[in-house]
Amino acid sequence: MREIAWTPDGEESFNEIVEYYGIRAGENVARKIFDKINKEIEFLAINEIKTKVSPELKDIGINDVYQLTINPWIVYYKINEEHTKVKILVVLDGRRNIERILIDKVIDNKL
């Protein structure tokens, strides 16, 4: 079983999504979204990881950041060399300007 670790930016971005839906659609919807994303992230700990390198980051030479799509959200993460730890970097709404957000995070050394 792999350890799941959250970066501060990962936690903050996930919480922002849940809070947004809590305000806009209500607590029940926010809870369902929280559970859905969390469940998929937990699969990274127990299942064989089917990784997809982030195409937006690959284009700028970053090949060690992977993405897990939970439509419409995208979880960006790294895996350590031993494949014993998954580090959640950020959770984003895929309907936003993902490329711009990711480049800003690279510039700020958050990825």
DSSP conformation letters of the chain: -PEEEE-HHHHHHHHHHHHHHHHHT-HHHHHHHHHHHHHHHHHHHHSPP---B-HHHHTTT--S-EEEEETTEEEEEEE-TTS-EEEEEEEEETTS-HHHHHHHHHHTT--
3-107 architecture in CATH?
A: 2-Layer Sandwich (3.30)
User: What is the predicted pLDDT for the residue at 106?
Assistant: 86
User: What is the predicted pLDDT for the residue at 93?
Assistant: 94
**This prediction's pTM:** 0.90
User: What is the predicted pLDDT for the residue at 68?
Assistant: 93
Would you give per-residue pLDDT tens digits along the chain (111 residues)? 899 999 999 999 999 999 999 999 999 999 999 999 999 999 999 876 666 888 888 888 999 999 999 999 999 999 999 989 999 999 999 998 888 888 888 888 887
